[in-house]
Amino acid sequence: MAAALIDRRLHTIPGKLRVAELFFEVPINYSQPENGTLRLFARSVRRWVKPVEPVKDDKQPPIPWLVYLQGGPGMGCRPPQEYGWVGSALDKGYQVLFLDQRGTGLSSTITAGTLALQGNAVKQAEYLKNFRADNIVRDCEAIRRCLTADYPEEKRKWSIIGQSFGGFCAVTYLSMFPEGLAEVFICGGLPPLVNGPDAVYARTYEKVLERNQAYYSKFPEDVERVKRIMQYLKGNKVPLPSGTLTPERIQQLGIAFGMHGGLDSIHDLIFRASSDLEIFGFITHPTLIALDSYGGLDSNIIYAILHESIYCQGEASAWSADRLHMFDSYDELNKIKDAADILATTENWPALYDEAQLAKNEVPVYAATFIDDMYVHYDHASNTAGKIKGIKQFITNVMYHNAIRSKSDELIQQLFALRDDTID
């Protein structure tokens, strides 16, 4: 079925982009479309060119689509002009669609308040089961059918580029709806083809340990600083706008270690907090605001409550990473703790990947794989690549997980080089 386009507004970023702000309506549950709808938000982007003579849209040939599937789960898209690779994609002749995946950004946003509208914890958990990758790609297919309805039949396929969790969605898309895809680009997002999160986290912990060692090797002075901060937090209740600064919240800062610049950004926070304690005996308000801005679990609660389920196919996650203890330090998360616990005991998660379909894949797939990726272990990614017929990979040990943001020109050039067959 096609999504219903219910609103479209155009504006121009001078000298750069023509942006359309789009709202679509899709079913909450595609197998029961009569049981309510969601509103999805997306921005489409074209190169802004003001012709000498106005040209009507119906006289222009259809422009191929490239759809960006962002990481997460639970994070919405940023404004298009903040993506450094967009210009390269437009130069290649695409128009780009930035879709806020269901429950994120402006797409029927999931918060404690909006979940409360569903009823008790059991009903909230049932609602949240509709927000995994299988329904995200169903949304994509519904929107594709809407946006290409006037295209010639042979032009209705589109291209997708998936970053991190967006790459997981891309492989689900290849498994479920390959007929809708012209080509697939994946950046640090070849998913582990496993059943359950335990095997994933076992390898993740290895990389986290490596990055912690790299951090303390670069900033040995932070060993004592972290100890000082942790000791202070064990003896003092420190309020934050989002909840409470706990030792676990300090540990959570390590999530940034797998990103370009992550070690330095966390050093700055630790340095500030330790300096506050040394001078004043407490952590000052500006430092608390800076600490609170890292993590974002209260603003992206899908990440907190559904992250483990992205690895589940027929089994319960059972809080594999012991995430539930984090909920007490976030006021927003604490409100949906019961629903999260129900999801952690859910066993009937449907399969997200079809290995038989991947083995006979005919869609061109181009993947950037990072040897030192802290979030998607290289061994898991390599195993998955071996199961997707025809995949081409750019493999590097000089980029980290967020290279599409931090080294966007270099990375997108490598991906397009794979597509254009210029590597020999």
What is the number of domains present in the chain? 2
Give the model's pLDDT for residue 79. Answer: 93
* Residue 365 identity (one-letter amino acid): V
Classify 295 in phi/psi space as left (phi over 0), alpha (psi -120 to 50) or beta: left
Give the model's pLDDT for residue 216. Answer: 98
319 inside domain: no
Q: Is 74 in the same domain as 105?
A: yes
Q: Considering 108, 377, 401, 408, which one is annotated as catalytic? A: 401
Q: Is 152 in the same domain as 93?
A: yes
**164 counts as catalytic:** yes
pTM of the model: 0.95
CA distance 202 to 157: 38
Q: Is 17 in the same domain as 117?
A: yes
Task: Supply the DSSP symbol for 353.
Answer: -
Q: Is 128 in the same domain as 171?
A: yes
395 inside domain: yes
**58 counts as catalytic:** no
Q: Is 189 in the same domain as 222?
A: no
CA distance 345 to 368: 34
CA distance 269 to 286: 11
Q: Is 207 in the same domain as 171?
A: no
405 inside domain: yes
Q: Read off the tokens for 69.
A: 């599937």
Among candidates 217, 180, 24, which has minimal Cα distance to 105?
A: 24
Q: Is 286 in the same domain as 355?
A: no
Q: Is 153 in the same domain as 183?
A: yes
Q: Is 172 in the same domain as 219?
A: no
Q: Read off the tokens for 335.
A: 């409100």
CA distance 112 to 201: 27
Give the model's pLDDT for residue 55. Answer: 63
312 inside domain: no
Q: Read off the tokens for 254.
A: 């390590």
304 inside domain: no
Q: Considering 164, 175, 309, 317, which one is annotated as catalytic? A: 164
Give the model's pLDDT for residue 48. Answer: 85
140 inside domain: yes
Domain boundary among 275, 295, 315: 295
Give the model's pLDDT for residue 424. Answer: 66
35 inside domain: yes
Q: Is 182 in the same domain as 210?
A: no
Residue spans of beta strands (DSSP E) within 302-399: 365-370, 392-396
The pairing of beta strand 392-396 with beta strand 65-69: unpaired
Give the model's pLDDT for residue 16. Answer: 84
Q: Read off the tokens for 66.
A: 């490239």
Domain boundary among 247, 269, 295: 295
For the chain, which ranges sit under pLDDT 70? Answer: 51, 54-59, 323-324, 422-424
386 inside domain: yes
- Return the biggest CA–CA distance within the chain: 71
The residue behind tokens 């990375």 is 411
Q: Considering 373, 377, 380, 408, which one is annotated as catalytic? A: 373
CA distance 79 to 13: 11
Domain boundary among 295, 325, 359: 295
Q: Is 277 in the same domain as 180?
A: no
Among candidates 200, 226, 204, 229, which has minimal Cα distance to 215?
A: 226
**Range(s) of the domain holding residue 255:** 197-295
Give the model's pLDDT for residue 56. Answer: 66
CATH of the domain at 368: 3.40.50.1820
CA distance 126 to 122: 6
End-to-end alpha carbon distance in the chain = 42
Q: Is 228 in the same domain as 287?
A: yes
